[in-house]
Structure 1
Amino acid sequence: MRVLRRCPGLAEPLRDGRLSLSTAAALGPVLTEGNWEELVGRAAYKTKVETEQLVGSLQPRPAPREGPTT
């Protein structure tokens, strides 16, 4: 699992059940060596959907382009 290779500290939360494989994978795009502990705490025991919502709230979205107004 790529996420586990990047953040080996995830092994324990996976082992003790705080995270499932699907929630760990969902966290992958926003996990760094600097924030993984905080994110594991925020995502612990959450469903995949709840974790995806957390990830969505952390990822910046580009501002919509202004189009012509009629």
Structure 2
Amino acid sequence: MIEGLVLRTAPQLVEPFGIGVDTAAEILIVVGDNPERIRSEAALAKLAGISPIPASSGMTFGRHRHCLG
């Protein structure tokens, strides 16, 4: 049932490789009826819980682990 709702509301969210219906539904829930509050892609990623986190103890730079979900 969720897949039908997501595809009807925002089919462009599931077009990129790796974005499934569950993640797209979570993004839609986070944005809700107030998309103006999301001012950047980074803000949306943080709210949806899909922003990259450091992959090490902080002694190296430029490496991130992507946690989806």
User: TM-score under structure 1 normalisation?
Assistant: 0.36
Larger Rg: 1
Greater relative CO (CA pairs within 8 A, separation 6+):
1
More strand by share: 2
More helix by share: 1
User: TM-score under structure 2 normalisation?
Assistant: 0.36
